[in-house]
Amino acid sequence: MILMTPGPTPVPEFARAAMATPTIHHRTAEFEAIFGAVRDRLKKFMRAKEVIILASTGTGAMEACVTHFATKALTINAGKFGERWTKLAKAHGKNPTELKYDWNTPAPVNDILAALESDSAIDAVFIQICESAGGLRHPVEEIARAIKAKNERIFVIADGITAVGVEPIDTTHIDALITGSQKAFMLPPAMAIIGLSERAIERIEATGGAGYYFNLAIELKNQRKNTTAWTAPTTLVQGLQAVLGEIDKIGEEKFYALTAKRHAAGIAALNAIGAKIYPQKPALSMLTVYHEDAANLRKWLKKEADLNAAGGQDDLKDKLIRINNMGFVAPQEIAWAINALEIAIAKAGGRKYDGAGVKTFTENYYK
Ligand SMILES: *Cc1c(COP(=O)(O)O)cnc(C)c1O
């Protein structure tokens, strides 16, 4: 079975091999050297002043950002992960104001500015760069710039869990950029990373952090010495070192260009087979198709094409098909997925199969 869900993504063989070595104790010079090297590379990769690595899935890092940066939160909800910001803010008494959008609709900058205008108590804005529920790209850089132009003391927290490693993110106006191991880095789940701005670091240090396990002040103090407060996810850190090394072998710019090229060719191919692209502004991390019969198409893909693509969630559970485009996905995998989808649509009584999907993908990818 080919795993083509937009997280978890399949773990490439070189990464599995890097994680198959004997376990290293985390309180050793050997591990600290690896941890330090990974941290240095990550700071540049995430365009952050500091990075904190947590033994947790992405949600743990989201929670830490809620507890550290908000007194009153503004949350942007255009899908399951935006909704999670609201739930986290409520769970921690951050009294969130929520802006809610259809899952295919990017948040307009003016709505956010208006919300800040009408409530001066809001001191942190929480948003996804890519809202994975509908494969939607929010205009986060533009939103962040506008927020800071209005009031530079408002924290901008960006969930980049399906954006970091997908495209270069301009972090000029972003205070915390979050990612996780099981998306573009193509590692097993359970490691989260937060990239921090100068102001975010100041806040963490001035307050002494919040909470206990996810206390970022305790972590930052330790991680600056290339160690962790609690037991580090050593195996995943070794895996990440291999992944970042592989990205450097390809070249960061080319790695991003390949992702963008697969995505553009994929969109052209989906249009060629008459598939409906779901989001108004598709993120590069995945190809998201709306289809009334999506549940049955996915069943066919699994059973006949050995291909595991993701569905939707909530009301769109049986209406979306989401195909991963993050990480080291080969163009032939996307071409095959679209070809299989074209066959599945024909089998379900839709457009007649003529190979237009794979043909259009190939022509666009290699043009
Ligand atoms: C996967 C994902 C998360 C994190 O989910 P976890 O299950 O905690 O790893 C958060 N936000 C987005 C946008 C995601 O795609």
**Domain limit, last residue, from 195, 228, 249:** 249
Task: Say whether both 91 and 123 belong to one domain.
Answer: yes
Q: What is the mean pLDDT of each successive set of 10 residues along the chain, which is 367 residues long?
A: 96 98 97 98 98 98 98 98 98 98 98 98 98 98 98 98 98 98 98 98 98 98 98 98 98 98 98 98 98 98 98 97 98 98 97 98 97
Task: Say whether both 41 and 115 belong to one domain.
Answer: yes
Lookup result for tokens 């990480």: 327
pTM value is 0.98
* Range of the structural domain that residue 329 is part of: 251-365
Spacing, Cα 360 to ligand 1 middle (Å): 32
Lookup result for tokens 């008494």: 93
Task: Say whether both 235 and 311 belong to one domain.
Answer: no
Quick check: is 7 in a domain? no
Of 64, 103, 113, the C-alpha closest to 80 is 103
Enumerate the H helices of the chain as residue ranges.
Answer: 13-18, 29-45, 58-69, 80-91, 109-118, 140-150, 198-207, 216-223, 234-250, 252-272, 294-305, 331-347, 356-365
Instruction: Write the residue with the smallest CA distance to atom 2 of ligand 1.
Output: 161
**Domain limit, last residue, from 249, 267, 287:** 249
Q: What's 134's domain CATH number?
A: 3.40.640.10
Provide the pLDDT for residue 115.
Answer: 98
Provide the pLDDT for residue 259.
Answer: 98
Provide the pLDDT for residue 83.
Answer: 98
Task: Say whether both 178 and 265 belong to one domain.
Answer: no
CA distances 79 to 138, 157, 204, 216, Å, are 11, 17, 29, 27
Task: Say whether both 284 and 310 belong to one domain.
Answer: yes
Provide the pLDDT for residue 18.
Answer: 98
Spacing, Cα 356 to ligand 1 middle (Å): 34
* The ligand 1 atom nearest the CA atom of 81: 11
The answer to whether residues 180 and 54 touch, using CB atoms and an 8 Å cutoff, is no
Task: Say whether both 85 and 192 belong to one domain.
Answer: yes
CA atoms within 13 A on the CB side of 106: 19
Spacing, Cα 243 to ligand 1 middle (Å): 19
**Domain limit, last residue, from 249, 274, 299:** 249
**Largest Cα–Cα distance of the chain, in whole Å?**
64
Quick check: is 2 in a domain? no
77 vs 313: CA distance, rounded Å: 14
Task: Say whether both 75 and 221 belong to one domain.
Answer: yes
Tokens read off for 301: 């893909």
Pocket of ligand 1 (CB under 6 A): 7, 57-59, 81, 128, 132, 159, 161-162, 180, 189
Count of domains for the chain: 2
Quick check: is 113 in a domain? yes
Task: Say whether both 320 and 196 belong to one domain.
Answer: no
Task: Say whether both 66 and 188 belong to one domain.
Answer: yes
Provide the pLDDT for residue 109.
Answer: 98
Query: Measured between alpha carbons, how far apart are the two ends of the chain, in Å?
Result: 30
* The ligand 1 atom nearest the CA atom of 59: 8
